[in-house]
Amino acid sequence: MKFGRILLALVAVAAVVGLVVWFPGSSEPEPSALDRPVVAAAVADQAVSATWYCAAATAGPGEPFAHRIIITNPTDRNLPVRVSPVGPTGPVPSKMFLVPAHGPFVVDVDREFAAPGLSASVESPSGQIVVEHRLTAINQEDQVPCATATSDRWWFPALDSARGATAKVTLFNPFPGDAGVDIEVILDASARTPAELSGIVVPARSSRVVDLGAVVQRRDLFAVVVRARSGRLIAETTQTFDGSTGVVGLRMNVGMATESPRWVLPGGFTGQGVAESLVVVNPTDQRISAEVRVIPFAGASTAPEPIVLDLPALRYAVVDLSAESRVPPVGYHAISVATDGAPVVVARLNSVTGPPAAAPAPADGAPATAVRPAVTSGVAISTGSPVMAGDWLVPAIDAGANPAPVVFVHNPASTVAQISTVPVDPDLGADAVAAATSTIEVAAGDSVALTVPPSTRPGTSVGLRITSMTPIVVERLVTYPTENELAMGLAVPFRTPQSGPVPLPGR
C-alpha cells in the first residue's frame, strides 16, 4: 500500500465548522474515512477526524461484560460528544455528553442506555479526542482504542478456539445500508471460507456477533480476514479464556485494515510464568520471507541475530519467543518485523500464568533491568505499528494501579530521540503539569520503559502525552489489579504538520 493511501486513511470527511450545531439533527454517523486505516489516529489542529467506532460489547458465555467507553480530551476546553449505540435489533437513541478538559471521561454504556451488548459510535467537533473502550467481567478485562475508519477488509492474525477459549467477532454497521460479509479462515495448511461464514448480512444500523469458535473448533491458533462484499463496517474480535488450560483472561482486538512490509512492537516480555509468541501472516499469493528482530531494552547495539521466516502464500508462521534461547528471559524487549517489500500482518501474544522471576542484581554503575508487572494471570494481544510519529497520546491509564502501568517508547531512527512526557490530568494546574513534565533520551534503535508514577487519588485515570522531534513508536501496558489482568497495545499517534505519522525506516 502506498503511503499516500495510508495518510488518506487517517483523514476524516466530516467538517469541524458547524458540527456542534449539526449534532441534534443528524440521523446517523458518517465515516471518518473510506480508505483502509493503519492505526487509530487522533488528529490535531486543522484536521477533522471526529468519529470513532467501538464495536465489541460482549465476549463470552455466562455473566455479561460491562462495557465502558473512555474519552480522553487533551485540550484546554470542554468538548461535546455524541454517543450513538446500536444493538442486534437496531439503533438506540443517542445521548450528548460534555467531556471536561485535560482528562479522561467514562461513559458506562450499559447503564446510560439501559441495555447490554451495544456497539457505539462517538462523534465530536474536535479531532483531538481519543476514544477507547473496555470490557470487564470477573477475572477478565481489556481495553483498546476504537476504530477511526471503515474498511473493506479486516485482518485478525491470531485467534484461539481450543478448550476453555471462546473466539467471537463483532460486525458493527452504523450506516444506513446493509453490509454483506465473508469471513475467510487461514489455518496452518489451508485457507477457506466455510459456508457458515459466507454471505453474512449485517443490517443497517445494527451489530452482529459471530461465534468463530463454533465453526473453527479446537484450534489453538488460526487467522481470519473479514471481507465486505457490499456496504461498510467495523470488525473487532473478543477472546476469553476460562482457566481450563491454565490461562485466564480477555483479549480484545480491533481488526487490522492494512498490511505493511514493516512493523514495530515497542514492548514485550517473556520469562518465568509467561508464554510469548509472535504470529506473522502472509496475505499475498506469493511465497515471501520475513525477518524478526528482538531488541532487548538498552541492548540495541548487542541485539541477538534475527529470526528468518519462510511464509507460503496465505499462510502464517509462529515464533515462540518463550522458547528462543536468544531472547533474554528477564527484562523488556522490542520486536521489529521486516520484509523486502512484501506486506505482512503481525500479532504478539502474551499469556501470564504465574509471578515473575526476580531481576538479577545490576553490575556496578549499570541500570537495573526492568521486570514485567507482577500480575500472576492474564492475556494480551498487540498488533504493532507500521508507522512512527513525533506526538503520541497514551489514554486512560490508572495512575493508582499496583502493579503500576508501563509505557514503552521505541526509537527506530539512527539518531538519539529526546522525548518529553506531559500528564493529561483534569486535577493538575499549569504549574503542576510543568513540574510533572519530564524529558528523557532514547538511544538510536533502542527503547525505554517508563513507569507511570502513582497518583495521590486512587482509581484516578490520567492520560500521558509523549512528544519527540525524532519520530518514535509508543505502546502501553496497563494492569487491572482487581481482575488480576493486563492489556497491551499501541498509544494513539497525533497528526500535526510537524509530527504526523510517517513510514518506518527500511531494514
In this prediction, residues 140-165 reach a mean pLDDT of 93
Rounded CA-CA distance 247/233 in Å is: 32
The string of pLDDT tens digits covering residues 369-419 is 567 777 889 999 999 999 999 999 998 887 667 777 889 999 999 999 999
Strand blocks (E) in 414-490: 417-424, 438-442, 447-451, 461-480, 485-490
Query: What's the mean pLDDT in 21-31?
Result: 36
Cα–Cα distance measured from residue 259 to residue 316, given in angstroms and rounded to the nearest whole number: 14
What confidence tens digit (pLDDT) does each residue in 334-360 have? 999 999 999 999 999 999 998 887 766
**What's the whole-number mean pLDDT along residues 157-185?**
96
Place of cell 514503552: 408
Using CB atoms within 10 Å of the CB of residue 264, give its burial: 0 to 12 exposed, 13 to 18 middle, 19+ buried.
Answer: buried
- CATH architecture of the region 262-503: Sandwich (2.60)
- Coil vs helix vs strand at 39: coil
Q: What is the mean pLDDT of residues 115-119?
A: 92
CA dihedral 480, 482, 483, 489 (to 10 degrees): -10
The average pLDDT across 121-145 equals 92
Range from 67-81, 138-152, 363-377 carrying the lowest mean pLDDT: 363-377
**Is the fold of 153-254 the same as that of 262-503?**
yes
Contacts of 221 (CB under 8 A, 6+ apart): 158, 159, 160, 188, 279, 316, 318
295 Cβ neighbours under 8 A, 6+ residues apart? 303, 333, 334, 335, 336, 410, 445, 446, 447
**Residue spans of beta strands (DSSP E) within 327-430:** 332-338, 345-352, 378-382, 387-398, 406-410, 417-424
Q: Which has the higher per-residue pLDDT, 329 or 121? A: 121
Q: Residue 453 has which C-alpha cell?
A: 508514577
**The predicted structure's pLDDT at residue 11:** 32
The residue whose grid cell reads 517473556 is 270
d(CA 255, CA 236): 5
pLDDT exceeds 50 at position 45? no
Name the more confident of 303 and 256: 256
pLDDT at 363: 62
- Count of beta carbons in the 10 Å neighbourhood of residue 53: 26
* Average pLDDT value over all residues in the chain: 84
Residues 6+ apart with CB under 8 A from 342: 261, 282, 284, 286, 288
Q: Does residue 429 surpass a pLDDT of 80?
A: no
pTM of the model: 0.87
Write down the H helix ranges in 421-507.
430-436
Q: How far apart are CA 361 and CA 367, in angstroms?
A: 10
- Averaged over 426-439, what is the pLDDT? 65
The H or E element that residue 71 is part of is strand 66-73
Looking at 326-482, list the stretches that DSSP marks H as alpha helix, in order from N- to C-terminal side. Answer: 430-436
pLDDT at 489 over 70: yes
Residue 427 clears pLDDT 80, i.e. is over it: no
Q: Which CATH code, of 2.60.40.1180, 2.60.290.11, 3.90.230.10, 3.40.640.10, is assigned to 153-254?
A: 2.60.290.11
* Interval 177-195: pLDDT, tens: 999 999 999 998 899 999 9
Residue 49 has pLDDT above 70, yes or no: no
Higher pLDDT, 303 or 92: 92
| Phi and psi, residue 165, nearest 5° | -115, 145
- The CATH label, of 2.60.290.11, 1.10.3190.10, 1.10.287.470, 2.60.40.10, for the domain at 3-145 is 2.60.290.11
Question: Cα angle vertex 323, ends 322, 326, to 5°?
Answer: 90
User: Would you kindly state where each structural domain of the chain is located, as residue ranges?
Assistant: 3-145, 153-254, 262-503
pLDDT score recorded for residue 136: 92
In tens, the pLDDT along 209-241 reads 999 999 999 999 999 999 999 988 999 999 999
Whether 320 shows a pLDDT value over 90: the answer reads yes
Q: What band does 326 get if pLDDT is binned at 50, 70 and 90?
A: confident
